[in-house]
Amino acid sequence: MSSIILIVDDEPAGRHTLESILEGQGYHLEMAANGAEALKKASQILPDVILLDVMMPGMDGFEVCRRIRNDPALAEIPIIMLTALDDKQSLLNGLESGADDYITKPYDRFELRARLLGITRLNRYRKLVDDRVHIEEAHSKLLSAYDATIEGWSRAMDLRDKETEGHTQRVTALTKKLAELAGMSNDELINMQRGSLLHDIGKMGVPDSILHKPAKLTDEEWSIMRQHPKYAYDMIQPIEYLRPALDIPYCHHEKWDGSGYPRGLKGEEIPLSARIFAIIDVWDAVTSDRPYRLAWDKQKALEHINEQNGKHFDPHVVELFQKMMDDMDQAT
């Protein structure tokens, strides 16, 4: 798209001269014969550059320039002042009023073209930078909205499964701590946080009669309950920005020795994020009150974690978990 140049000169001959110099240079030229018309046209077309004559009756170029700089919608438009006044005071007045450049008449057509080319390139670059900043800001706001939605889903799941109310927020916070200790990158931490918040979203596909059953589940009911990681996969996989967060919802019930579900993955076949989350998930479960038992104390819970070292849990992750617990004890 060609740059729009607004030429402001009260003399028809002056406008014609500039038009002849710039003709064929790829610009779209607009004309204004006085200051008031210049301000009106600038507001309507938002030119890329204004070529502004100084000596005009009524409102001179200095005043036009000042008004443009005081208008937030126009203030960033580059202005080149054009005048027959070849003295330092006029130059200072032009720069003080907000002009970006200053050319005296009669024009050297090659100098004018070069100055205009330079300023339009700078302006185009500035616009590209501004557009990139705006895109990045919009992207950041969109991601914030996504994350707020995820947190809303996680709270809805906790409300549905009152037995584990608050569980999701607790395991998300601890998982992040352990993942940082494991040296996960910032992008990996973001995806782990999302995956932690959504780890039990697959339970949305489990009937209430099973999810809220106070008695022991039958084999058939357990078979349905164990499908919730697969339900999570089916729900999340079509959502492109959540795919990198899928490992925890899909794999957090896999076990190091291969006895887990839904796929019976073994050892390092299980994604590291899921191996980290698995130990936090169990820790929170055993240290929280349930209708069928009271919470275990810390020592008993740690003994259980260590007893499952190499069975349910990755031995390296157990080692990191113990270090995290020690660090937390020292901090309190």
Contacts of range 29-36, beta carbons closer than 8 Å, 24 or more positions apart: 29/5, 30/4, 30/5, 30/6, 31/6, 31/7, 32/6, 32/7, 32/8, 33/8, 33/9, 34/8, 34/10, 34/58, 34/59, 35/8, 35/59, 35/60, 35/61, 35/63, 35/64, 35/67
Q: What letter does residue 313 receive in the DSSP assignment? A: B
Strand ordering across the sheet containing 28-32: 28-32, 4-8, 49-53, 79-83, 101-104
Instruction: Quote the pLDDT of residue 222.
Output: 92
Q: Are 61 and 8 in contact (CB under 8 A)?
A: yes
Report the percent of the chain where pLDDT is more than 70: 87
The CATH code of the domain at 4-132 is 3.40.50.2300
| Confidence bin at 142 (pLDDT 50/70/90) | low
Spatial separation of the C-alpha atoms in residues 199 and 128, rounded to whole Å: 40
Instruction: Quote the pLDDT of residue 100.
Output: 83
What is 123-137 written as a DSSP string?
A: HHHHHHHHHHHHHHH
Between residues 17 and 329, the one the model is more confident about: 17
Per-residue pLDDT reduced to its tens digit, 103-117:
888 877 888 888 888
Instruction: Quote the pLDDT of residue 156.
Output: 66
Per-residue pLDDT reduced to its tens digit, 151-171:
777 776 666 665 555 788 899
Q: How far is CA 147 from CA 199, 259, 269, in A?
A: 14, 33, 28
Report the percent of the chain where pLDDT is more than 90: 48
Total-model pTM? 0.59
Do 4-132 and 161-331 come out as alike in CATH topology? no
pLDDT at 68 exceeding the cut of 70: yes
End-to-end, the C-alpha distance of the chain in Å comes to: 63
Instruction: Quote the pLDDT of residue 82.
Output: 84
pLDDT at 245 exceeding the cut of 80: yes
Q: Per-residue pLDDT averaged across 230-235, rounded?
A: 92
Token digits of residue 22: 């710039």
Report whether CATH 1.10.3210.10 matches the domain 161-331. yes
Spatial separation of the C-alpha atoms in residues 14 and 8, rounded to whole Å: 9
Between residues 93 and 61, the one the model is more confident about: 61
Helix orientation angle between 61-69 and 35-45, rounded to the nearest 10 degrees: 30
Q: How far is CA 172 from the centre of its chain?
A: 21
pLDDT at 183 exceeding the cut of 60: yes
| Confidence bin at 215 (pLDDT 50/70/90) | confident
Per-residue pLDDT reduced to its tens digit, 36-47:
999 999 999 999
**Lowest mean pLDDT segment, chosen from 44-48, 80-84, 194-198:** 80-84
Instruction: Quote the pLDDT of residue 167.
Output: 82
Instruction: Quote the pLDDT of residue 321.
Output: 96
Helix or strand (DSSP H, E) at 140: helix 109-160
Residue 288 φ/ψ region, left for φ over 0, alpha for ψ in the -120 to 50 degree band, beta for the rest = beta
Instruction: Quote the pLDDT of residue 1.
Output: 60
**Where do the domains of the chain lie?**
4-132, 161-331
Q: Per-residue pLDDT averaged across 174-182, rounded?
A: 95
Token digits of residue 67: 């008004």
Per-residue pLDDT reduced to its tens digit, 116-126:
887 777 666 56
